[in-house]
């Protein structure tokens, strides 16, 4: 792999150019700053209750909140309402399926999900359309970073809410399980040609996180809004990909391109090695396949000039 041990921002000092829109020091600073909550609050994804500062009052210890056939529908609706109150744009609930949980983390530490988990709450945070439309500029990185920082706040708060009702909760980001198939099982959307979860109303402009729990909850059904048939004909993401990482094949298949592709899945696999190679050369993430997707609310736009983005933001001040 050409990018083995290459960090995404390694080339940034050489890439920054005050004359090139979207690649200035301000753009890079914005992208990095947006990750602050996520990066400095990594314990947001802790499987256990977070320790409180010494000056905070001790918790009350109520009994387990009883959930039965009479109130499970109301409890499920309450969980969804609370999740959105914490900032989520989308939420669905799927049955726990152990095949989506990783066997080990990035440093090869085994992952052992607690026994008794029955549900996974799939959460989507929609990224800013204006910022995404500037892809592949560094300005676009602001949308990704904000999405991840929102993820940290939402799942940590929701997990604590569930624990206060007497049930187990495991908040996760990209660290514990495959978010896309879980979101599909929870009815949030389908997988597109670009390999991402694509939703009916926001396209793939969604960051995903999850909370595993043993709380009794009702489960949502999968959805099919015709995405696969649409992707067969569209191919706009493949045409726009600057490193030819997205397949032009007419039909999905079991074909893979990289060791990072899971085998045995019928879909259009993405050559993620090529994708990341472009990220390192670009000095930041790329979301061009998201911005050009017709299911994105900014349908019809290929790119927005980063100068237009800044003109709009500055004019609001």
Residue extents of the structural domains in the chain: 12-48+64-213, 227-292
Tokens of 96: 């726990």
Quick check: 253 and 283 in contact, CB under 8 A?
no
**Torsion over CA of 125, 131, 135 and 136, rounded to 10 degrees?**
-90
Cα end-to-end span (Å), the chain = 45
The whole-number pLDDT of residue 66 equals 94
Output the 3-class SS for the chain.
Answer: CCCCCCCCCCCHHHHCCCCCCCCCHHHHHHHHHCCHHHHHCHHHHCCCCCCCCCCCCCCCCCCCCCCCCCCHHHHHHHHHHHHHHCCCCEEEEEECCHHHECCECCCCCECCCCCCCCEEEEEEEECCHHHHCCCCCHHHHHHHHHHHHHHHHHHHHHHHHHHHCCCCEEEECCCCECHHHHHHHCCCCEECCCCCEEECCCECCEEEEEEEECCCCCCCCCCCCCHHHHHHHCCHHHHHCCCCCCCCCCCCECCCCCCCCCCCCCECCCCHHHHHHHHHHHCCCCCHHHHCCCCCCCCCCCCCCHHHHHHHHHHCC
Give the global pTM.
0.91
pLDDT value of residue 52: 64
Q: Crossing angle, helix 141-164 and helix 25-33, to 10 degrees?
A: 10
Distance CA 153, CA 151 (A): 5
According to the model, what pLDDT value does residue 94 have? 98
- Over its length of 317 residues, how does the chain's per-residue pLDDT go in tens digits? 888 889 999 999 999 999 999 999 999 999 999 989 888 777 778 787 666 666 666 666 678 999 999 999 999 999 999 999 999 999 999 999 999 999 998 888 899 999 999 999 999 999 998 899 999 999 999 999 999 999 999 999 999 999 989 999 999 999 899 999 999 999 999 999 999 999 999 999 999 999 999 999 999 999 999 999 999 999 999 999 999 999 999 999 999 999 889 999 999 999 999 999 999 999 999 999 999 999 986 545 556 788 888 888 888 88
């Amino acid at each position: 792999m050409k990018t083995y041990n290459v960090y995404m921002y390694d080339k940034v000092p050489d890439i920054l150019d005050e004359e090139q829109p979207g690649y200035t020091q301000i753009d890079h600073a914005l992208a990095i700053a947006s990750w602050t909550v996520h990066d400095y609050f990594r314990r947001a994804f802790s499987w256990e209750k977070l320790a409180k500062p010494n000056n905070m009052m001790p918790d009350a210890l109520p009994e387990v909140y009883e959930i039965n056939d009479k109130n499970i529908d109301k409890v499920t609706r309450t969980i969804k309402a609370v999740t959105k109150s914490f900032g989520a744009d989308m939420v669905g609930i799927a049955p726990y399926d152990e095949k989506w949980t990783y066997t080990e983390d990035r440093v090869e530490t085994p992952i052992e999900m607690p026994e008794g988990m029955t549900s996974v709450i799939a959460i989507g945070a929609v990224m800013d359309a204006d910022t995404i439309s500037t892809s592949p500029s560094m300005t676009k990185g602001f949308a990704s970073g904000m999405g991840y920082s929102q993820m940290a706040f939402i799942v940590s708060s929701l997990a604590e809410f569930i624990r206060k009702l007497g049930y187990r909760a495991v908040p996760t980001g990209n660290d514990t399980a495959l978010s896309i198939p879980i979101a599909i099982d929870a009815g949030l959307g389908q997988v597109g040609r670009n390999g991402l979860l694509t939703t009916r109303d926001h396209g793939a402009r969604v960051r995903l996180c999850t909370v595993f729990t043993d709380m009794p909850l009702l489960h949502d059904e999968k959805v099919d809004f015709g995405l696969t048939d649409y992707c067969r004909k569209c191919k706009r993401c493949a045409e726009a990909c600057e490193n030819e990482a997205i397949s032009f094949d007419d039909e999905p298949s079991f074909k893979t391109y990289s060791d990072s592709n899971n085998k045995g899945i019928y879909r259009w696999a993405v050559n993620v090695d090529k994708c990341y190679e472009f990220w390192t050369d670009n000095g930041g993430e790329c979301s061009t396949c998201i911005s050009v997707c017709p299911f994105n609310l900014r349908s019809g736009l290929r790119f927005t000039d980063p100068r237009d983005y800044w003109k709009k933001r500055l004019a609001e001040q």
